[in-house]
Amino acid sequence: MGLFSKRIKHKLFNNLERGLVSYTGYIDLGSDTNVEVYIRSRKKRGLEKAEEQTLKMIPNFEEIKKSATKDFYESYIIMRDAIKDGEIDLDDEVILPEMKDANDIWEYLKLEDIIIEPNSDYPLRIGFRAPWDIEHDYGILVKDGDFQYCGVSV
């Protein structure tokens, strides 16, 4: 805990830590437990909006993931082909799994974090890590519990 931080008990985000400009906490989403949550607001209303957005997302989580399946799989195919063609060196940290179809993507993507910016056009971002692409995040943007966009970011 930092010099200017304070712990707050919270039913959804477990033990929140309030820092100078944001909150950090954890949430459980099905089999993914202790997923780190960053709330980029320090105000009470920002925390309330973050809770609203998260509560709208939770029941749709699996459907939101399904909406990103095709795009994330295409990103995997691009990376796989680049590695196989020698355009990218496969180092010791990279694992390149073989997948039968797009639905296999979820066996390998690891839920990394959730970033909530309550006053943003896309207030909730779900971030994943891929073992074949350790330099980028795979993210899904959500608003009011609905999938908005997904992509790979630096």
Mean pLDDT of 117-142: 94
Domain boundary assignment for the chain: 6-153
Query: From its phi and psi, is residue 104 left (phi > 0), alpha (psi between -120 and 50) or beta?
Result: alpha
Alpha-carbon distance 83 to 95, whole Å?
A: 11
Tens of pLDDT, residue by residue over 1-28, are 555 568 888 889 988 998 888 999 999 9
The winner for highest mean pLDDT among 3-7, 26-30, 122-126, 134-138 is: 122-126
Q: Are strands 133-143 and 14-18 parallel, antiparallel or unpaired?
A: unpaired
Tens of pLDDT, residue by residue over 31-57, are 888 899 999 998 889 999 999 999 999
